[in-house]
Chain A
C-alpha cells in the first residue's frame, strides 16, 4: 500500500478516541570500503509505521514494517489492545492539531539521480588515489532518500522528505591516520578531488609525530570536532530535564551561561543544511513544527527544546533542535595561531561520553590528527589526547571564530580558537 492509502486506511479503521501515526520510508545504497577494497555493499528499502493511540488517558503504541491490509489491521488492534490494558497516564495529552508547517526544500535531484555505478566509481577513484600515494583508504559512500508522513486524529498532517549523500575517507600511511568526510543533502556539491587533496594534505602534516603530555592548552577546533562536542549539549538543554534539576541549565533560561561569542540556532535560512518540516518525539509521533529557533544568543540561553506535554504544563511553545547552526566569524586558522603563544589543532573527536550530567562534563579522545603550533606556525603532529571538558563553560573561553562550514547534512559550524582546553591523558599513537 502507498503512503496515502495507508493514511486513509488507518484513519478509517482506528476506533480510538485519539491517535497519531508516523510513516517513515527510506531507500538506501551503501558501499563500505576498507584497506583499498570493498568489504560491505548493501541496498534496499526500509519502512516503518508507528501508531500511537489512546482511549481517554490510556495509551498504546505499535509499529510494523508491513503495509498490507492484514498487517495494518493487526497494527491497529495491537495498539488498541495495549491501550486497553494500560493505566491512565497522568501526563497524557491530546494529539497534535492541524497547524501550518514550514515549507521544506531538502531533496537534491543530483542525489536522487546518483547511480550505484557512480558510487562504486567514487570508491574506485578514492582507492586509486590512495594507492598512488602508497597508502590505504577506508570509508563509506552512501546515499539515502527519506520520506516521512505524520497525521493525527486532531488534523495534524505533515510531510517531510530529504536526501543525504555521504562520502568519508580514512587514510592510513605508515603510522599516520586521518579522515575527511562530505555529508550533505546534495551530491552536486561533492568534489572528490578537493576532498582527497585535503585528506592528503592532512596526512602530510601528520608525518612528524612527537610525544605530547596532557595539559590545559589553547586549541583550534576544526568544524567536525566542534560539532561533535556540541551535539551532546542537545540532551542537556532539554527544558524538562533542566526544570526538574538534572542538567547544568536548571534555572538558567535567559541567563548568560555560555560565552558571548557563542550563538547557536536551528535555522531555516541556510539552504545548505536540512531543515525538517516537523519534529517527532522520542517514542515517535509528536508533531512539533520545526520553526527557526535561537537557542543561545551572545551567550545567553534564550530557548530550550521542550516536548508538547512539558510545553503545555509550563506555557512554553513546543520546540526541538532540528539542525545546528553555530555562527562563525572571519578569523583564519593562520590568524588564530598567532593569537596565542602555543596550542593544538584538532581535526575530530571520538568516543565522547558524559562524565557528570549535572555539571555537563564530557570526556573523549582526539582522533584523525592533532597538530602542535607555536609562534604562529605548525611545528609537528602530536599523539592523541583525552579531554574532560564542560562544553558550555568551554564556550566562555572562545577567543575567535572562523568561517562557517558545512560540517554535516544538518550542521553548519565554524572553526573555533579556545583557551585552556582541558586535556587529562594521552595515548600511545
Chain B
C-alpha cells in the first residue's frame, strides 16, 4: 500500500491547501554501564506517521502508529478536522507558508560502519574496559559509560509533489568519572555531544586513553582550589564549552519562532527582534556565526527538514552584526521572507515539527593563532573546558555558565586547576567581549542531543563548533 499517495490524495480531496505525511521509524540502541553493572541494554523502536494539513491559515496535525488504509484515512480526516477548528480561531491571524518547490530526493548519513551492525558484546566489552580502567584510580567512586546509537528512517510526501527518503543516524558516547575527596564529590566527563557518523568514529578515538585523562582530571578537580569572589577576568573557552554557550545565547535567540513570540508560554522569547536585523552589534567584528544544515557529520544535516526544504548554509551573525534567523515555512512569512532556511524539525513521528536551531558554529579566526599562543598572550584569566551548569533567562539575555574543568591562567601559563567556577554575562556584552579566536586548525564540532523545546516537549539535536576563543572583562568567580 502506498500510504504516501493515499494520504496526500485524501487530504487534497478534503480541501487541504497543503498537506504532508512523514512516515518515521526511529530506532535507538541505548547501552548504559554504571561501574561494571550493565544498567541498560535496550533497543527501542518507534514507528508511525504524522500528517499535517494546512487549511485557511491554520495547521492540524494527527499521528498514528497503525499502518492500514483505514487508519491512514482516519488520521487524515482527524488532521483536517483539527485544522478546520484551528482556522476558526485564526480567522483574523492566518498563518502563511513561504513558497517552496517540489523535490524528489534521498539522503543517507554517510557512514562506513553501521553502529547497529556492531555486536552488543563488543560494545559492552569496550565499555567495561573503559570503566574498569577508571575504577582502578584510587579516589574514583563512580564511573559511567552511556552510549546512544540513533537512526531515523523517514519517508516524506507533500501535496507540492515532494517525495523524500531520508536515513539519518548518529552516535553519542558519554563517559564520566566521579571522584570523592574530603567531603566533596566532583565529576569529569568526556562528551563530544554526538556526531552523525558511523562506528568508525568510535574506532578512531582511543576511548581508554580519554577515560584515563578524565579519571585523572576528576581527581585533580575534586582536590582543586575554588576561585573566590567574583571579579572581572579574562576567559578562554574551549570549543566543547563554546558549543553550549552559543547554543543558548545565539542559537535559541535566533530561532524565528521565538522572535515572533510563539514560544512565549514555555521556552521563552528573544531579545533579537526583527528591527535589529542587519544593524545590531551582537558580537565583536571577528564574530561570525553560520547556520549550516549541510555540515558534514552535523546532527541537523539530514538533506531536508520536515517542511521538505533543503539544508542550507547562511550567516546568522556576520562580522558581529545580526544577519538572519533560522526559519521555517510558516515563520518566515511573518517577517516578509519569501523563503525558509529549512529549520523545521520534529523529533518523533508523533511530533508536529517546530522551528529548531540549525547546525550553528562560530567561524574560526582569520589570523593564525594557536591555543598555546592564546594562553601565552593572557596574563590573568581562566580557561574553561567542557560543559557544566547552564542557565539563561527567557529572553536569552542574562546567563550563568559553569564548565567541566577549569585552569587558572597566570602570566601566560596554566597555573593551577580550579573547581566550581561560574561566569555571568549577558547579550550583547558577552559576544562583543570576544577579542581573539584561534584559527581553523583548532576548530572542532560538538553536538547537542538534548535540546528541549516546545509544548508538547520535543528533544532536538544539532551540531555546534568553534575554535578556542577569548573573552575579556567577564564576571568570573566561585559558586555561592
Q: Chain A interface (Cβ within 8 Å of chain B)? A: 28, 30-48, 50, 59-66, 78, 82-83, 85-87, 89-91, 116-117, 120, 123-124, 127, 136, 138-140, 142, 168-170, 172, 177, 179, 244-246, 283, 350-359, 361, 363-365, 367, 384, 386, 388-390, 422, 424-429
Select one of A31, A39, A44, A358 contacting B63, CB under 8 A: A44
On whether A85 and B121 interact (CB within 8 A), knowing A35-B260, A246-B178, the answer reads yes
Q: Chain B interface (Cβ within 8 Å of chain A)? A: 32, 36-48, 50, 58-65, 75, 78, 81-83, 85-86, 88-90, 93, 95, 119-121, 124, 128, 141-142, 178, 180, 184-186, 257, 260-266, 268, 330, 350, 352, 354, 389-395, 397-398, 400, 402, 420, 422, 424, 426, 454-456, 479-480
Which B residue sits closest to A75, measured CB to CB? Answer: B45
Select one of A39, A169, A367 contacting B59, CB under 8 A: A39
A62 in contact with B393 (CB, 8 Å): no
B41 in contact with A60 (CB, 8 Å): yes
A386 in contact with B400 (CB, 8 Å): yes
Query: Across the interface, which residues of B come within 8 angstroms of A78, CB to CB?
Result: 43
Q: In the complex, A123 Cα to B142 Cα: how many Å? A: 49
B480 in contact with A30 (CB, 8 Å): no
A424 in contact with B424 (CB, 8 Å): yes
Select one of B39, B264, B352, B397 contacting A429, CB under 8 A: B397
Q: How far is the CB of A113 from chain B (nearest CB, A)?
A: 17
Which A residue sits closest to B78, measured CB to CB? Answer: A43
A28 in contact with B456 (CB, 8 Å): yes
B86 in contact with A38 (CB, 8 Å): yes
Q: In the complex, A384 Cα to B391 Cα: how many Å? A: 14
B64 in contact with A44 (CB, 8 Å): yes
Query: Across the interface, which residues of B come within 8 angstroms of A33, CB to CB?
Result: 89
A283 in contact with B42 (CB, 8 Å): yes
Which B residue sits closest to A127, measured CB to CB? Answer: B89
Q: How far is the CB of A34 from chain B (nearest CB, A)?
A: 4
B350 in contact with A61 (CB, 8 Å): no
Given contacts A358-B186, A386-B393, could you give 20 more A-B pairs where the C-beta distance is less than 8 Å?
Answer: A28-B456, A35-B264, A39-B257, A40-B59, A40-B61, A41-B83, A42-B352, A44-B64, A44-B350, A62-B42, A85-B120, A140-B266, A168-B266, A246-B178, A355-B422, A356-B480, A367-B393, A386-B424, A388-B400, A428-B397
Query: Across the interface, which residues of A come within 8 angstroms of B393, CB to CB?
Result: 350-351, 365, 367, 384, 386, 427, 429
Query: Across the interface, which residues of A come within 8 angstroms of B455, CB to CB?
Result: 30, 32, 40, 140, 142
B95 in contact with A39 (CB, 8 Å): yes
Which A residue sits closest to B268, measured CB to CB? Answer: A350
B261 in contact with A179 (CB, 8 Å): no
A34 in contact with B45 (CB, 8 Å): no
B85 in contact with A351 (CB, 8 Å): no
Q: In the complex, A28 Cα to B457 Cα: how many Å? A: 13
A124 in contact with B38 (CB, 8 Å): no
Q: How far is the CB of B129 from chain A (nearest CB, A)?
A: 12
Q: How far is the CB of B30 from chain A (nearest CB, A)?
A: 8
Query: Across the interface, which residues of A come within 8 angstroms of B58, CB to CB?
Result: 37-38, 41
Q: How far is the CB of A82 from chain B (nearest CB, A)?
A: 5
* Pairs of residues from A and B, 10 with the lowest C-beta to C-beta distance, nearest first: A427-B398, A37-B93, A44-B63, A138-B264, A63-B44, A61-B42, A42-B61, A170-B265, A91-B37, A34-B262
Q: In the complex, A45 Cα to B349 Cα: how many Å? A: 12
Select one of A36, A352, A386, A388 contacting B479, CB under 8 A: A388
Q: How far is the CB of A353 from chain B (nearest CB, A)?
A: 5
A356 in contact with B479 (CB, 8 Å): yes
Q: Which of A34, A244, A364, A424 has the most CB of B within 10 A?
A: A34
Which A residue sits closest to B51, measured CB to CB? Answer: A44
Q: How far is the CB of B55 from chain A (nearest CB, A)?
A: 11
Query: Across the interface, which residues of B come within 8 angstroms of A30, CB to CB?
Result: 455-456
Query: Across the interface, which residues of A come within 8 angstroms of B43, CB to CB?
Result: 61-63, 78, 82
Query: Across the interface, which residues of A come within 8 angstroms of B42, CB to CB?
Result: 60-63, 82, 283
Q: In the complex, A204 Cα to B45 Cα: how many Å? A: 49
Query: Across the interface, which residues of A come within 8 angstroms of B178, CB to CB?
Result: 246
B265 in contact with A42 (CB, 8 Å): no
Q: How far is the CB of B478 from chain A (nearest CB, A)?
A: 10
Query: Across the interface, which residues of B come within 8 angstroms of A32, CB to CB?
Result: 455
Query: Across the interface, which residues of B come within 8 angstroms of A357, CB to CB?
Result: 185
Q: How far is the CB of A165 from chain B (nearest CB, A)?
A: 14
> What are 14 of the A-B contact pairs (CB < 8 Å)?
A35-B261, A44-B62, A63-B43, A85-B124, A86-B38, A138-B265, A140-B265, A245-B180, A246-B178, A355-B422, A365-B398, A386-B393, A388-B479, A427-B395
B185 in contact with A116 (CB, 8 Å): no
Q: In the complex, A427 Cα to B37 Cα: how many Å? A: 45
Q: Which of A37, A47, A168, A424 has the most CB of B within 10 A?
A: A37
Query: Across the interface, which residues of A come within 8 angstroms of B46, CB to CB?
Result: 48, 65
